[in-house]
Amino acid sequence: MLSTRSLFDEIYRNDQAYQLFCSIAAGGEDQGGWENERIAALTRDPVLAPKVARHGADERKHGRIFAQLLNRRGLPKVPVPDETDYCMLLERQGIGLSHERLNTDVPLTDRELITYLAHSRVTEQRAAEQMRQLVRAYADNPALGRAMRVISADEDDHLAYCHEELLRLISEGHGPYVRHALETSARGEVRTYRDVGLAVTARMARILRWPRWQLALITLGVRALHLYDRAYGWRRMVTLRMPEHRNALGTPAPPHAEHEVPGS
């Protein structure tokens, strides 16, 4: 029976599919780590800067986790196909802060920080949902289960921090721009997630030699999710509420050590 768990299990059991899956994940985490490192360096807010730095350190940790999952199988990372590069495609749509901007030494303005936080609020929502799905899918897999739980917990903290910081900025009088930035990011993310989903599906279909009916069914699922998100689901990405876990990124990340990577 075709299910989310059976699909992820099929990917796990095939070296080439698993290699692509982990490489895409590691690439996205590494890019997110670099972006947060640059934003922390350009942030003049002494309260926000260390939280952004912690966010970047967590993303780097996630990249190492996915790389080590590949190493355990004796597999190197492979280049991420352009059409599956979620971060790059978002940037091309003008969502978030461009790499050109982050490569300068000019401090970020309040509006640029809001743009960053709104982008993070939206993308961390997606990341948190994806990781919960992976936690369920690999619950019975010792090699992946703990790694997915560690990353999932971090993504929940990242999402909580975005809620809290955006609410703080609203209280300081930035409400209209926060709402604009959130809606712009959400609508762009919904399109990008569909495009990346279709691209990954097509590549996995070729690697795993899916029959036409299976490819058609999964493609239909990706398109159906997009229609839902475009019509209604995007609203979950723009609502803000004070999280139960306050100051989720208020402590520095621990120094990098091999024991950070689960099961190493």
Residues 47-74, mean pLDDT to the nearest whole number: 96
pLDDT surpassing 50 at residue 203: yes
pLDDT class of 250 with cuts at 50, 70, 90: confident
Residues 156-178, mean pLDDT to the nearest whole number: 96
What are the Cα distances from residue 47, in Å, to 22, 67, 133, 154? 34, 32, 33, 20
What are the Cα distances from residue 15, in Å, to 54, 59, 121, 207? 33, 24, 33, 10
Q: What is the pLDDT of residues 96-107, one digit of tens each?
A: 999 999 999 999
Any idea where the domains of the chain sit in the sequence?
Answer: 14-241
Helix ranges restricted to H, the chain: 4-13, 15-42, 48-72, 86-92, 99-102, 110-137, 142-169, 175-208, 212-231
pLDDT class of 259 with cuts at 50, 70, 90: very low
pLDDT surpassing 90 at residue 257: no
Angle between helix 175-208 and 15-42 (nearest 10)? 160
CA distance 13 to 3: 15
pLDDT surpassing 90 at residue 2: no
What are the Cα distances from residue 74, in Å, to 15, 26, 67, 71, 119? 10, 16, 10, 5, 35
Q: Does domain 14-241 have CATH number 3.30.565.10?
A: no
Structure confidence at residue 13 (pLDDT): 95
pLDDT class of 260 with cuts at 50, 70, 90: low
Q: What is the pLDDT of residues 81-93, one digit of tens each?
A: 999 999 999 999 9
